[in-house]
A = this chain, B = another copy of it.
Amino acid sequence: MQRRPERERRADLINATILEIGAARSLDVTTVQIAKRAGVSSGLAFHYFKDKDSLFLAAMRAILSSYSDDVSRMMKSAQSPQDRLTAIAKACFGASSLDRNTMSAWVVFYALALKSSRAKRLLNVYQRRLHSNLVHNLRPLIGAQADPAARRIAGLIDGLYLRCALESHAVVAFDGAAEVLQAIEAECQDTCLFAAPKTHAI
């Protein structure tokens, strides 16, 4: 019985939840499994989280905020709208987002958002941030077309990510970021203001 501060225990349990969901590739995981993976008893899981749903939502929040951090970090060093769009695309398909457990959990949480309004609300935060990021950086390039174009780019990101997650291959064979950049370039060709930094060929 090793004692640790609440902060770390919660983190352990959240992490274990993501790992178990990733391993099972669904929400069909028991609290005993999760607790065991975290190295604690099942009772402790309920000590720190009201119920199983709350634990799932905490795990979802963790994934979304880790993604959010990725985006922020990559945007920091970008100067131009073009660079920032590239940063967004790379963050979506960066190493931490492409972790297999994370990908599976993400898809599972998408499905969860269908029935859980709390999960849906979390997803909406992610979606709105992505859309706003895209619009903000597309507007200098294509003006009023930025909004509908951003909708399409965001949809494309989700769709490609979904397909990645469903691929069984251990390593993903194609570069999602490059695909997204290609699409952005296509969207901008009207006014020809966007030129992809380097990655043209897929």
User: What is A's interface to B at a CB cutoff of 8 Å?
Assistant: 24-26, 104, 107-108, 110-115, 120, 123, 127, 148, 151-152, 154-160, 162-163, 165-166, 168, 174, 179, 182-183, 186-187, 189-190, 202
Contact = CB atoms under 8 A, between A and B. Distances in A.
- Chain A contact surface mostly: helix
B108 A165 contact: no
Nearest to A147: B202
Nearest to A178: B148
Nearest to A108: B111
Given A110-B166, A159-B162, A202 B148 contact: yes
A163 B152 contact: no
B179 A114 contact: no
| Residue of A107, A155, A158, A187 with most chain B CB atoms under a 10 A cut-off | A155
Contacts of A168: 120
B155 A179 contact: yes
Given A104-B114, A115-B26, A186-B187, A120 B162 contact: no
